[in-house]
Amino acid sequence: MATLSITVKAAGTLASAKTDALIVLLPDRKTLPAELKALDAVLSGTLGRALTQGDFSGTVGASHSLPGAGAIKRVLLIGCGSPDKMTVAQAKKTSETMARALMATPATDALIAMNALSGKVAAPETLIEQLTLQATLAHYQYSHTLNKRKKPTRALKRVAISPDESCSASRARRAVRLGSATGQGANLTRELVNLPGNICTPKYLTSEARKLARAHQNLSVSVLDERKMADLGMHSLLSVGNGSEQPSQLIVLKYSGAPAKSRPYCLVGKGITFDTGGISLKPGAKMDEMKFDMGGAGSVLGTLHAASLMKLPINIVGVIAAAENMPSGRATKPGDVVTSMSGRTIEILNTDAEGRLVLCDALTYVSRFSPAEVVDIATLTGAIIVSLGQEATGIFSNDDALADSLLAAGDRSHDRGWRFPIWEEYHRQLDSQFADLANIGTGGAGSITAACFLSQFAEDYKWAHLDIAGTAFRSAPKGATGRPVPLLVNYLRERAGML
């Protein structure tokens, strides 16, 4: 994966710019901003005419391209609405529009000019961070399993951003660093989530974790194989991989950005590299999408990549519970009872409710790190898609302050979540006649009962669960979104005092 280089450049005179694509951000006005008079002259008045004739309006989401002149090969006009009232949502949409228009051109470099916004941007750093993040995301293309004829090519190599006078070069450079790190983290997540199940196995996740640790000085990895997990009593986690030829893995990544005595933030990811449902087999339609069932694990790796690039001054422990859920003569059967690492016995009434089975042992395991907070991330239930669709990640927590922080981080990054209750009354659905608890509920509220199950293994610390089944990937066009990496990165930045 080639990363897009993004830098900050002093505005200079646009009319004499040398670039494949000059991107001009414009407010919603019909008249030519004074800052663009000289550029308009070089472009023979076409810019001014596009505004007065109404070919381009500066509303958020609008874009218009003009042929260039001299050393400027082409010009892209991008609407910013009212810059003085720009929300994160508008900054994101403006940036997405810019990135889409830019990637559609054959340009190898681009210059993004903010000076026509006349220093009136409400939060220039938010806009610069979004421009960087969305350009980085749009630059990514999946190619791992495509041969030469189909391999996509991306001409664009370099982007420079010229902030307007409302933002100093050093603040702009910081916003670019943060946006680019978040984008690179999310792109790592997308690549892993997009890879097919025959390539991205539990062992593959281990090798990717090792690769990430080699790339970052403050990051180390250790892996528990099936024998070590059995020694620890992780029979719930192990029961999920029973039917598979692929050995399960518990991957532990440690990022040290603070002194060792500083309690770590723990991220725990569901890493089901393929979910057939097991003996409770899923229907055939769209079963291929269950390669995305390691989206939680992917977001742990992506978030650690971003945190390392940003050098966040906190400690983070990432734990990935990786297994493949397959039917076979050795597979777990409905009605089987297993003993979890916590000592609680679990009646597995449905082998397709496997995410909670791997996560519960990982949640017990992370107690040993005396975590400041624990957040698990999982493509856990189809029911969360019924509740929230593709827009929001489901948030569940035993701590109001942690839930509020995650909600706020989602708002700041426009990678939003929505909180659900995990009341005592819902827990009763998990009562079992043959074990301490059953792995599925008996009534409705499938996402909530799944979270209730997890919460019983997270009683020792502040914990939240993110159900990303609706947000981690899209069905059309099929592909990983990189969510909730922006949310998680924002949450950790806030905890690290680096907002």
Among residues 9, 173, 203, 282, which one is catalytic? 282
The reply on whether position 124 binds Zn ion by CB under 5 A is no
- Interaction partner, residue 469 (Zn ion, ligand BES, Mn ion, none; CB < 5-8 Å by kind): ligand BES
The reply on whether position 129 binds Zn ion by CB under 5 A is no
263 is catalytic: no
Instruction: Tell me which residue of 224, 123, 223, 136 sits closest to 177, measured CA to CA.
Output: 136
- Interaction partner, residue 332 (Zn ion, ligand BES, Mn ion, none; CB < 5-8 Å by kind): none
- One symbol per residue from 439 to 478: x for binding ligand BES (CB under 6 A), - otherwise; what is it? -x-----x----------------------x---------
The reply on whether position 481 binds ligand BES by CB under 6 A is no
SS3 307: helix
Specify which residues 111 forms β-bridges with: 22, 160
In angstroms, the CA 105 to CA 84 distance is 30
- One symbol per residue from 274 to 313: x for binding Zn ion (CB under 5 A), - otherwise; what is it? -x-----------------x--------------------
Rounded to the nearest angstrom, the gap between the alpha carbon of residue 156 and the centroid of all alpha carbons in its chain is 23
Look up residue 429 and give its amino acid. Answer: Q
Beta strand pairing call for 463-467 and 393-397 = antiparallel
Contact with Mn ion (CB under 5 A) among 275, 324, 347, 467: 275
Which listed range, 91-99, 212-220, 273-281, 404-412, lies at the site for Zn ion (CB under 5 A)? 273-281
Contact with ligand BES (CB under 6 A) among 352, 361, 373, 415: 352
In angstroms, the CA 398 to CA 396 distance is 7
In angstroms, the CA 409 to CA 484 distance is 10
Provide the b/e sequence for 10-43 (b: ≥16 CB within 10 Å).
ebeebbebebbbbbbbbbeeeebbebbeebbebb
Contact with Mn ion (CB under 5 A) among 20, 164, 352, 415: 352
Minimal distance, residue 355 CB to Zn ion, in Å: 5
Residue that the structure tokens 């076979």 belong to: 328
Minimal distance, residue 494 CB to ligand BES, in Å: 28
CB 355 within 8 A of CB 379: yes
Q: Which is nearer to Mn ion, 354 or 373 (CB)?
A: 354
Q: Which is nearer to Zn ion, 43 or 272 (CB)?
A: 272
Look up residue 329 and give its amino acid. Answer: G
282 is catalytic: yes
The reply on whether position 383 binds ligand BES by CB under 6 A is yes
Q: Which is nearer to ligand BES, 306 or 331 (CB)?
A: 331
Minimal distance, residue 232 CB to Mn ion, in Å: 24
Instruction: Tell me which residue of 125, 124, 152, 126 sits closest to 139, measured CA to CA.
Output: 152
C-alpha dist (Å) from residue 248 to 245, 374, 439: 9, 22, 20
Minimal distance, residue 277 CB to Mn ion, in Å: 5
Minimal distance, residue 272 CB to Zn ion, in Å: 5
CB 124 within 8 A of CB 163: yes
In angstroms, the CA 268 to CA 252 distance is 9
Residue 454: what are its φ and ψ, rounded to 5°? -60, -40
Residue 249: what are its φ and ψ, rounded to 5°? -140, 140
Minimal distance, residue 275 CB to Zn ion, in Å: 4
Contact with Zn ion (CB under 5 A) among 247, 355, 394, 484: 355
Contact with ligand BES (CB under 6 A) among 63, 87, 256, 350: 350
Q: Which is nearer to ligand BES, 35 or 275 (CB)?
A: 275
Minimal distance, residue 397 CB to ligand BES, in Å: 20
User: Phi-psi category of 278—alpha, beta or left, where left has phi over 0 and alpha has psi -120 to 50?
Assistant: left
Contact with ligand BES (CB under 6 A) among 125, 354, 376, 415: 354
Number of residues that bind ligand BES (CB under 6 A): 15
Instruction: Count Cβ atoms below 10 Å from residue 157 Cβ, excluding itself.
Output: 15
The reply on whether position 347 binds Mn ion by CB under 5 A is no
In the complex, which residue's CB is closest to ligand BES?
Answer: 382
**What does the CA dihedral 126, 132, 133, 134 come to, rounded to 10 degrees?**
100
In angstroms, the CA 377 to CA 344 distance is 22
Minimal distance, residue 358 CB to Zn ion, in Å: 9
The reply on whether position 14 binds ligand BES by CB under 6 A is no
The reply on whether position 275 binds ligand BES by CB under 6 A is yes
Strand order in the sheet with 72-79: 5-8, 158-162, 109-113, 21-26, 72-79, 63-69
80: its two tokens: 């910013």
Restricting to residues 421-440, name those near ligand BES by CB under 6 A: 440
What DSSP character marks residue 290? G
Among residues 74, 270, 291, 356, which one is catalytic? 356
Instruction: Count Cβ atoms below 10 Å from residue 315 Cβ, excluding itself.
Output: 23
Minimal distance, residue 382 CB to Mn ion, in Å: 9
What DSSP character marks residue 294? G
Which listed range, 83-91, 377-385, 405-413, 482-490, lies at the site for ligand BES (CB under 6 A)? 377-385
Which parts of this chain interact with ligand BES (CB under 6 A)?
Answer: 275, 293, 350, 352-355, 379-383, 440, 446, 469
Which parts of this chain interact with Mn ion (CB under 5 A)?
Answer: 275, 352, 354
Which parts of this chain interact with Zn ion (CB under 5 A)?
Answer: 272, 275, 293, 355
Residues annotated catalytic, as ranges = 282, 356
